Amino acid sequence: MEWSYSAFSQEDIQQFTAPMKVGLLACVSPQGEPHISLISSLMAANPNQVIWGQFTEGLCKQYVQENPKTGFMIMSLDKDVWMGQAAWTHTQTSGVDYDRYNNQPMFRYNAYFGIHTVHYMDLVGQNGKCALPMNAIIAAAVKTLLAKISLSKPPKERVMNPWTQKFLGKIDGLKFLAYIDPQGYPVVFPIIQAQSANHSQILFSASVFPEYLHAIPAGARVAIYGMALTMETVLTRGTFRGLERRMGVLSGLVDVDWVYNSMPPVAGQIYPPLPLETVKEF
C-alpha cells in the first residue's frame, strides 16, 4: 500500500488525543488472516510513532507480538478519518505515556481498571485526514439494497446467527473492512454501506473508498467489523468474491465462514462452534 504521508502532522497528533473517538487496530492472526480490534486509546506519541493503552486482554494484543505488522484507523466524532500502517515494537508498564493515559478522566477515576500496558508502534505511512463522505455512503447503502435483489439463495448452513445478521444488516451501523496487502500489512477502512445479504454473506456497493476495494484481489481473506455507538460489536471473516455488477451496481460480496463475539465481558468464537470442554479445575 502506498501512503501519502510518512509522518503525522502536529494537527494530527493533537486531534488523536481526544478520548472519544473510534480507534481500530488490524493485525494478522497466526493463520495469516486479518483481525480487527476496537482500541479507542490509539494516538500518536510523536510524528513517527503510534501508541495505544491496554486495559483488557484480547487476541490482537497477542497477535501483534507474534507478527508486528498492523493497520490502523482513527475516526473522530467530527467524522474525520485517518488510515495507515505501523509496525509494533515493544511495550512499557511505566513512564510518561503510561502516566498520561492513567491521568485521563476515563481511567483516573475508574475503580475497576486502568491502563496496565502501553504498546508502541513505528509508523509506516498514513493517508492524512479525510472527511467521511456521508452523502456518498448513504447513496452506496441504497445501491447495496438494490444489489441484494440479484443474489441467489444462500447456503443451507447458517453462519451468522439472527442477532448478527440483523446487526450487520442495519444501514446506519458502522462497519469496517480489513485485508492484508502484498507486503503483509493489514489495511483497514470504513465500509459503512455494507449489509448482511443473508445469514452467510455480506454485500456492499464499491462506490465509496473504491481505491481500497479495487486493491483487494478476488479470493482474498477479509475481516468485517461491525459496531454501534451502544458499544455492541461483532467481527466476521470470510472470502472476498471480487467486484462485479449486480442489478447494475458494482459491488463486492464476502462469503462469511467465521464469526467472533468481540464484546466484553466474555469474547469468543461463535462460528464455527467450538466443542464444549469439561471444567476440571476451579
Domain for residue 56, yes or no? yes
Are both 53 and 77 inside the same structural domain?
A: yes
Same domain (yes/no): 97, 223: no
Distance CA 137, CA 208 (A): 6
Per the CB < 8 A criterion, the answer to whether 188 and 70 are in contact is no
CA distance 212 to 215: 5
| Residue 34: CATH number of its domain | 2.30.110.10
Domain membership of residue 64 as a residue range: 10-130
Mean pLDDT of the chain: 93
Q: Tell me what pLDDT residue 267 has.
A: 82
Residue pair 225/176 in contact (Cβ under 8 Å)? The answer is yes
Query: Are 259 and 206 within one domain?
Result: yes
Predicted confidence (pLDDT) per residue in 199-233, tens digit: 999 999 999 999 999 999 999 999 999 999 888 99
Out of 130, 148, 163, a domain closes at 130
pLDDT value at residue 162: 96
Quick one: pLDDT at residue 121?
A: 98
* Share of residues in the chain with pLDDT > 70 (%): 95
pTM over 0.85: yes
203 and 137 housed in the same domain: yes
262-272 tens-digit pLDDT:
887 778 999 99
113, 130, 147 — which closes off a domain? 130
Cα–Cα separations (whole angstroms), residue 5 to 15, 48, 120, 203, 240: 17, 10, 19, 31, 28
Query: Do residues 119 and 196 both lie within one domain?
Result: no
Average pLDDT over residues 172-200: 97
pLDDT band at 108; cut points 50, 70, 90 = low
Cell numbers of 157, please?
Answer: 448452513
Q: Does residue 134 or residue 154 have the better pLDDT? A: 134
Is the pLDDT at 103 greater than 90? The verdict is: no
- Say whether both 184 and 92 belong to one domain: no
* 121-136: pLDDT as tens digits: 999 999 999 999 999 9
Q: What percent of the chain has pLDDT over 90?
A: 79
- What pLDDT band is residue 109 in, cutting at 50, 70 and 90? low
Residues 151 and 54 in one domain: no
Total count of domains within the chain: 2
DSSP per residue, 50-61? EEEEE-S--HHH
